[in-house]
């Protein structure tokens, strides 16, 4: 009897895994800009990554995090979805006279995402198994303020930056040391500290260069 019970559990787990794979593939099959059921009256999407919160079914926080990360990896969405966080805090519990450090979810039923919101990323996240809605009026995503993010103890690469697209910067290292250019794009997820695309004038023509963020400093004329 125990062997049969074990076999049934394994079979059920296998079926569940197949369902998850199918659901992920269905979400991945959605083409960019071809999402269905985006939030009504959606605001103009910001071009920089922001922190958003999604509500999940109870106990699904880590599963939602795992599924979204799989989709990001499979579809190469690293430049759109940067971090998926289930905030936890450590606590010491004493059981049978022994101390044990355990982790408790700070916000049960919620997952935080640092992402660039558009119709496609909205669809992917919203239709991930276990997600019930984005947090916001009428389920329309509302990004967290810097104060709210700081109060949660969450830190992203972009929070450390004092530069933005359109800023003039000076290259501080490498073959183009001391060149001055304008930031076209920022990719916080690439490299150790992220990368930037800087438009530099070479031979009278603006040439884009991808550099480590650590290689540039804000230029004050």
- What would the pLDDT profile of 6-29 be if each residue is shown by its tens digit? 555 555 554 455 455 555 555 544
Task: Go through the domains of the chain in sequence order and give each one's CATH number.
Answer: 24-157 (3.30.70.940), 161-218 (2.30.30.30)
Q: Has residue 170 got a pLDDT over 70?
A: yes
Model pTM? 0.53
Residue 137 has pLDDT above 50, yes or no: yes
Q: What's the angle, vertex CA 17, arms to CA 69 and CA 64, rounded to 5?
A: 30
Strands 195-202 and 180-187: antiparallel
């Amino acid at each position: 009897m125990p062997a049969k019970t074990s076999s049934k559990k394994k079979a059920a787990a296998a079926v569940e895994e197949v369902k998850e794979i199918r659901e992920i593939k269905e979400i991945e099959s959605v083409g960019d800009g071809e999402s269905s059921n985006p939030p009504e009256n959606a605001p103009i999407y910001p071009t920089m990554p922001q922190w958003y919160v999604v509500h999940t079914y109870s106990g699904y926080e880590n599963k939602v995090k795992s599924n979204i990360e799989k989709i990001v990896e499979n579809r190469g969405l690293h430049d759109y979805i940067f971090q998926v966080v289930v905030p936890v805090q450590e606590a010491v519990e004493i059981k049978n006279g022994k101390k044990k450090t355990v982790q408790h979810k700070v916000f049960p039923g919620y997952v935080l995402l640092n992402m660039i919101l558009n119709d496609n990323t909205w669809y992917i996240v919203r239709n991930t198994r276990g997600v019930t809605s984005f947090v916001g009026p009428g389920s329309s995503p509302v990004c967290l303020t810097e104060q709210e993010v700081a109060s949660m103890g969450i830190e992203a690469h972009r929070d450390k930056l004092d530069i933005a697209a359109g800023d003039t910067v000076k290259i501080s290292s490498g073959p183009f040391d001391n060149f001055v250019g304008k930031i076209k794009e920022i990719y916080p997820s690439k490299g150790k500290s992220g990368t930037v695309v800087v438009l530099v004038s070479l031979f009278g023509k603006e040439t884009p260069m991808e550099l480590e963020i650590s290689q540039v400093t804000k230029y004050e004329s």
